[in-house]
Amino acid sequence: MQRQPRDNPRNCHHLISFTRLPTTMFILFSILLILSRFSTATTESNVKAMFVFGDSIVDCGNNDFLDTYAKCNYFPYGVDFILRATGRCTNGRTPADFLGLFLGLPHFLPAFYDPQTRGSSILAGVNYASGASGILDSTRQSLNVTSLSHQIANFGETTLPDLKSQLNGSFALSSYLSQSIFFFLIGGGDYMASCTTSSGVAVECDLQKLTELLIRNYTHHLMKAYDLGARKFVVFNLLQTGCDPYFKQRNNGSCVDLLNEGSTLFNNALRPALENLSEDLPGFSFVYINMSGIINVIIDDPTTYGLKLTNESCCFFNAASVTESLCVEGDEACPDRSIYAYYDGLHLTEKLYMHLSAKAYSSDLQTEAYPFNVEVLANLDISLMLTGAPSFHTHDQ
């Protein structure tokens, strides 16, 4: 099929705009409610910037610049997005986009690999996320995507020197970073790559050993970000992807329980790991977002959230392999995206991401955001907790 024309991904730099109406009045009404709910909070936010690390859930177009076919830069992706198909694997905005909105950031964060992501364009933050990537460097290495360790290296080796030159020195940079949000959402792809075949069928894997390896590596990567100056961390746990439309279609309508068990083990270990880092590292502050629990509640009670279809995707996808769990290029999306939970075989719709992000930002329930929400973290003064400027060294593994 012929590729539909799309905007250049560097349009991630453009100012947020709400002049283009979503497809349904329900989505419009929901967004207006959220805007009014957070209008005061965003103007009072002390956040200088946000730096996003993760996988396809929050990739805003980094993979567009890589030699990989793990891309969402074509129609019908972006059908409800002001910039159209930029590389976001959904019909509209991602959780990172919404959280940036709630925090009062002036524009969508630019993709790191866009050549124009330099200079003043990075002062509100940068998005390093790469679709199909994982916590482990070995995860889908053949796809030429950017693993978490390399995403953090991109921040440290390229973005930090640029910021330092713009902010006139290490002291100003340290203060700026301590008032910035470091957003992490990654790990599901590691289980998919290790515990399923390329055709989505479960294979034998040691979930306990894999989980221990992932948590150990994740902790090391978070410590590396801390050494580079990060102080405020927003960390999302893993969705239970075993019941995604792609896996159910590949397994005769049944969930891949192995994936769900893996994410449960990971989620149970992640929060204690973050608490340990908070105890060990001066100034390390975090919010643990129970993404799995929040999304499960929405899908289990769909009518409350205006949903009707929670087990099928909005767009058509070819389930022959995990790389074909994406929308077929050029095919039409479903007419009413607001009633769907899933946009393609693996990714959720903008509507669910909007609800997820709103809860992450403002929920008072510790079962959703622990130990407090992102709004509290954003306005948290950690200056008294800091022992000095970041040393910019790396912890030994």
Instruction: State the catalytic residues.
Output: 56, 344, 347
Q: C-alpha distances in angstroms, 104 versus 54, 90, 101, 287? A: 21, 22, 5, 18
For residues 187 and 109, the answer to whether their CB atoms sit within 8 Å is: no
Which two tokens mark 109?
């964060």
Contact 62, 127 (CB under 8 A): yes
Output the CA–CA distances (angstroms, integers) from residue 159 to 63, 189, 355, 396, in the order listed.
Answer: 18, 26, 31, 23
Contact yes or no for 88/60 (Cβ under 8 A):
yes
Q: Which residue has the tokens 């950017």?
A: 146
Residue 308: CB atoms within 10 Å: 11
Cα separation values, 246 from 3, 278, 294, 356, Å:
23, 37, 21, 22
Q: Check: CB of residue 8 under 8 Å from CB of residue 65.
A: no
How many C-beta atoms surround the C-beta of residue 171 within 10 A? 10
Phi, psi of 347 (to 5 degrees): -110, 150
Query: What's the one-letter identity of residue 151?
Result: Q
The C-alpha angle with vertex 103 and arms to 100 and 107, in degrees rounded to 5, equals 45
Residues 340 and 299: their CA atoms lie apart, in Å, by: 10
Per DSSP, the three-state class of 344 is: coil
CB 135 within 8 A of CB 218: yes
Residues 93, 3: Cα–Cα separation, whole Å: 21
For residue 236, give the nearest of 101, 353, 87, 351 by alpha carbon.
353
Q: Tokens at residue 378, please?
A: 């954003």
